[in-house]
Amino acid sequence: MSAPESVADPSEAPRRALVREITASGALDGEPAWAEAFGAVPRHLFVPFYYRPAEQGGGHERLWGEDPDPGRRAEWLRGAYADEPLATRVRDGELISSSSQPSLMATMLAELGVRDGDNVLEIGAGTGYNAALLSHRLGDGRVTTVDLDPEITESARAHLAAAGYHPAVVTGDGARGCPERGPFDRIIATCALTTVPRAWLAQCGPGARILAPLATGLIALEVRDVGRGEGHFLASPAYFVPLRGGDRRDAEAPYTGGLPRWASRHDRFRFLLALTAGRLDPQEALALWEREHRPQRERFGITVDGEHMWAWLDDPEGPYAWALP
């Protein structure tokens, strides 16, 4: 008598499909360790429910894995492995937490440049999925994730445990880092910033790398010395839930009054407006952008040097530089 067949894991096929899709996007070129991590970590355990815009009446509808309707459960599972961001917490109509688009996560993890033995700090625990990917790659003891909201850290910790991962999950102000777990070789933020907290640089040694969303872009800072870092933006646009905490400065949407419609809607030009908010008016920004041949994000960078922090185009000491908060 043959042994009974094991029950198939319904997430296996969509998980493999997600890895193929991320790989096809180019986000994992030359990164087999991250491809293996995305194939191994079950994303659906980190999004037991999520929200999407309701088809009628506005607001959001909730999809969840325990829905009594098998069709809705299948829809939830497909969505969990789609290469799309998922809204996981909505409070008073405002999105406060999400699971990022996997291909963007893959881009960020690849650009983080981790090495075996690196100690990594993640700012913004979210669902815990990103911390699980890091833990799979580096080991639990090398990963710390911080979030201000105790509800978020509690659920992230539970999701991580359900998937078999146990990194340090800390409730605290991410803008202040986590000095008791440092020093760090890599810091990655999964929330949007308006400035780079100096506490992060103080918790890194020379050669460390900080990757964070800022002004709808992704800045990759190389730490040169205590309190000094410099780097360029990546080509990828990035839109994240804002950082909440002591260093938060709410970023307003760039003012685009008086601009041609095409300019006000152009993603790269809006990036320049966000980066230079309060330093250039829209007309000045448009003139600069046209004069410099509509520069890509990668031509821009940021320097942090002690108490001074500035954004720049092409050269930190060049003619185009703007002080940051």
Question: How far, in Å, CA of 256 to CA of 211, rounded?
Answer: 28
Rg (C-alpha) for the chain, rounded Å, is: 21
DSSP helix/strand/coil, 54: coil
Question: How far, in Å, CA of 73 to CA of 324, rounded?
Answer: 46
Question: How far, in Å, CA of 289 to CA of 278, rounded?
Answer: 16
Question: How far, in Å, CA of 180 to CA of 177, rounded?
Answer: 9
DSSP helix/strand/coil, 208: strand
* 135 is an active site residue: no
Residue 172 per-residue DSSP state: S
Residue 2 per-residue DSSP state: P
The DSSP result for 211-265, as a single string, is EEEETTEEEEEEEEETTEEEEEBPSS----PBP-STT--PPPPPP-TTS-HHHHT
| Residue 111: C-alpha distances to residues 114, 211, 298 (Å) | 8, 8, 13
Q: Of 2, 97, 103, 264, which residue is the catalytic one?
A: 97
Sign of the CA dihedral running 23, 27, 28, 33: negative
Return the exposure string of 32-63: e unless at least 16 CB atoms fall within 10 Å of the residue's CB, then b: eebbebbbebbbbbbbbebbeeeeeeeeeeeb
* Residue keyed to tokens 């966000």: 274
- Residue 239, number of CB atoms within 10 A of its CB: 12
Which residues are annotated as catalytic?
97
